[in-house]
Amino acid sequence: MMSTRDDLDLDLDPATPVLVGVGQHAEQPGRPGYARLSAVELAAAAARRAVEDAGIDPAAIDTVAGVRQFEISGARAKAPLGRSDNYPRSVAARLGANPARAVLEVVGGQSPQHLVNEFAAAIATGAGPEVVLLFGSEAISTTRALADAPDRPDFTEHVGGQLDDRGYGLTGLSSRYHATHGLLGAPSQYALFENARRARLKLSRAEYAQAMGELFAPFTTVAAANPYAAAPVERDATEIATVTERNRMIADPYPRFVVARDQVNQGAAVLLTSVAAARRLGVPPEKWIFLAGHADLRERDLLARADLSTSPAAIMAVRHALDVAGRTLDEISTFDLYSCFPIAVFNVCDGLGLAPDDPRGLTLTGGLPFFGGAGNNYSMHAIAETVARLRATPGSHGLVGANGGSLSKYSVGIYTTTPTPWRPDHSATLQAEIDSWEPVAVATRADGPATIETFTITHGRDGQRTGIIVGRLDRDGRRFLATTTRGDTDLLDLLAGESPFGEQIFVRATADGNRAAVSRAALTALLPTRSPGFRDGYEHILVRRDGHLLEVTINRPQVRNALHPPANTELAEVFDAYFADPDLWVAIITGAGDTAFSAGNDLTWTASGKRGSVPLTGFAGLTSRRDLTKPVIAAVNGHALGGGCEIALACHLVVADTTARFALTEVRVGLAAGAGGLVRLPRALPPKLATEMILTGRRLDATEAHAHGLVNRIVPAGTALDGARALAADILAGSPTSVRVSLQIMNETAGITDPHDAVTHDSPALDDLLLSEDMLEGLTAFAEKRTPHWRNR
């Protein structure tokens, strides 16, 4: 065999990429050999084995690339025992390597295979790197075991040096909309897909649970024989599928045994070279593994997908990799399909016609729930196992499918010992096709009758259950997310029943997200709608009524009148009452004290980790309100910063005293002016000035703001409220009906750019005005030369 192979490889392009070394390392607290290794040390141990496998000098490595651990996979991720500030170079230093280039890959389980595909292509150009070491690791078991230990280690490292940090790569994988509705972790998101598949196949709960157990039972057999497995216990299908105290339900339909196991200490590494470098470094040809086929594709974002029961992008990636390799599925000897949850495996099986019980097996490691879900690096272990199997059976082909995100990103590699020239893939063309698919329309604020498309029920350790629903609105078919309301056993019972798919529900948008119930009446009982009206007293604001004038004062001077959720709620209720009360014609909003109108969002509240929410009508109950058909005046006394400036921008008129300062300061604290500032400021000021304010936090004083039209009137320091009252009196002298109709027509025509079309816009508000008592009173009073007595009718 070797002589034949030696002859064949002489014909290969010297730039052909080959995989020449692999290594793995694992340890667990309480097991023999446990050394309390850090993530860097685990990766270094695996990398050292990969280098030894190839038999090369680590000094030959010119490029290293690391897969992110969980603790460096997000801006808020924590590392209780510390972490390296340059993970790839920390690992390289342990080996005595000083590569010219270091890379830190984006988040996702596709990362290991994607890095192989990427750097194999770079090597194949002949002008890129020649010796590339890829690695990843997790030390979650050590972190959890020792985080509170008095002798806990400190894994902090400051390495410095060049690093191509590609960022987290989380765009499209998570959103505020997801988080608001409980889709914070992988189990709840994947459960939505899993239940959608059960609905498509019309399987009972018991049938589907058994199918998941039967899929994963062979995985446990493989894991039980794998020395690197985190949970090497063989289980049968019934044990996997049956919910018990130990196998508790996590997110319907997932009990714990089918969920990826993240509590691991594992590392794996892969070494790539060109054929020329492998020859130069003396790597024996029998060590060489060729990447015969490869593909990398990305699915549409979760809610935009036409069918939540499948990921066609993953199936397309596998098919394309087979095409590049010139192989059929029947010619593949080994598989390792990413198995964080059953749906990730079922999806590929469904799309390719691959039987879940295929005698070749679907894993070489034992799968993520049993071998261990080593963070983003699981598939590096799959590649290592594939290489070992192929070397033992020369001439065969092995397929690795690596999944990332929420069935979002899929990378495929087809490996073989058979010398194979490099063949470029056409993933970009296929990706363009995927990106052209029509997305499903989404309603972020959903109201009305709807049907259930798919769902899950999350189960807390405290027994708390929360239903998460993907539904479709009856009126227009838009898709939405909603959750159950605490105490709603009726909807939870429906979801926990045999087949809730397609069942009718009712949904309503709230400040805390969309809430669903079995009917409108049930939702009203659970979340009573508050009729507009004033309370007897308020905790965070002051309310004063003077005839037809309403004065609202933000009363939090100790935090410069910054707003937190309770204050926002009170303001929303007060302005609901104002707009609903026909005897109130003008409103003024101001801030207590003489320092600040409002400093915007209460960042102390936000930074404390307390739950944040904003009313549907927006910040201060004003910035997202559609029914601003009665005047609201901002009396700006002092600083109007961030959200405070956005409140002023949302008001019809602004009176500022000489101490007033206006600014959108969000960029200074890593935020953005999302309560209307980014939209309203460029429309209120010259665009260049508005852009400067938005990008730098520049402040305008009252004089500048007045000169540019942001402020109507400037008054002496400490008299902003008096100035607003004077302006309100001028408005109150006119017809409240005329004022209201004028504002309504201004709102209706705001988006009409052609002046003729705007002028000829036919508004029913004019008809209301012509039929009003106020118009008759106004004309009569004019003729009689007296002051009108307005009635607002």
Q: Please report which residue ranges of 72-132 form alpha helices under DSSP H.
A: 87-95, 111-124
Q: Is 784 tagged catalytic?
A: no
Query: H-helix or E-strand containing 756?
Result: helix 755-759
The Cα-based distances of 439 to 228, 461, 478 in angstroms read 42, 36, 11
Q: Which of 326, 319, 381 is nearest to 351 (CA)?
A: 319
Active-site option among 438, 666, 704, 748: 666
Strand segments, DSSP code E, in 61-114 are 63-66, 101-104
215 vs 563: CA distance, rounded Å: 52
**Sheet containing 541-546, strands listed edge to edge, beginning at the edge strand earlier in sequence:** 541-546, 549-554, 586-591, 632-636, 653-657, 713-715
545 sits in the region (left: phi over 0; alpha: psi -120 to 50; else beta) called: beta
Taking each helix axis from N to C terminus, what angle separates 186-201 and 342-352, rounded to the nearest 10 degrees?
Answer: 40
CA gyration radius, the chain: 32
Which contacts (CB < 8 Å, 24+ apart) does range 532-535 have?
A: 532/573, 532/576, 532/577, 532/579, 532/580, 532/581, 533/577, 533/580, 534/573, 534/574, 534/577, 535/570, 535/573
CB 665 within 8 A of CB 609: no
- What distance lies between CA 706 and its chain's CA centroid? 41
Query: H-helix or E-strand containing 553?
Result: strand 549-554
How many of the other CB atoms lie within 10 Å of CB of 780? 12
Two tokens at 585?
Answer: 């014609």
First to last CA, the chain: 98
Backbone angles phi, psi at 563, to 5 degrees: -105, 135
Q: Which residues contact 636 (CB under 8 A, 6 or more apart)?
A: 590, 597, 648, 654, 655, 656, 657, 660, 662, 702, 711, 720
Query: H-helix or E-strand containing 605?
Result: helix 603-607
Two tokens at 718?
Answer: 């400490």
The strand pairing partners of 397, in sequence order, are 416
Residue 731 three-state SS: helix
Strands 63-66, 101-104: pairing kind? parallel
CA angle in degrees (0–180, nearest 5) for 767-772-778: 120
Active-site option among 646, 773, 777, 784: 646
483 vs 464: CA distance, rounded Å: 13
CA angle in degrees (0–180, nearest 5) for 353-355-356: 130
Strands 465-473, 397-404: pairing kind? unpaired
The greatest distance separating any two alpha carbons of the chain, rounded to the nearest whole angstrom, comes to 116
Backbone angles phi, psi at 783, to 5 degrees: -65, -35
Residue 700 three-state SS: strand
The strand pairing partners of 633, in sequence order, are 588, 653
11 vs 13: CA distance, rounded Å: 7
Local structure of residue 621 (DSSP, 8 states): G
Q: Is 551 tagged catalytic?
A: no
642 sits in the region (left: phi over 0; alpha: psi -120 to 50; else beta) called: left
Site of tokens 């157990």: 213
How many of the other CB atoms lie within 10 Å of CB of 672? 11
Query: Which amino acid does the sequence have at 398?
Result: G
Catalytic residue numbers? Answer: 646, 666
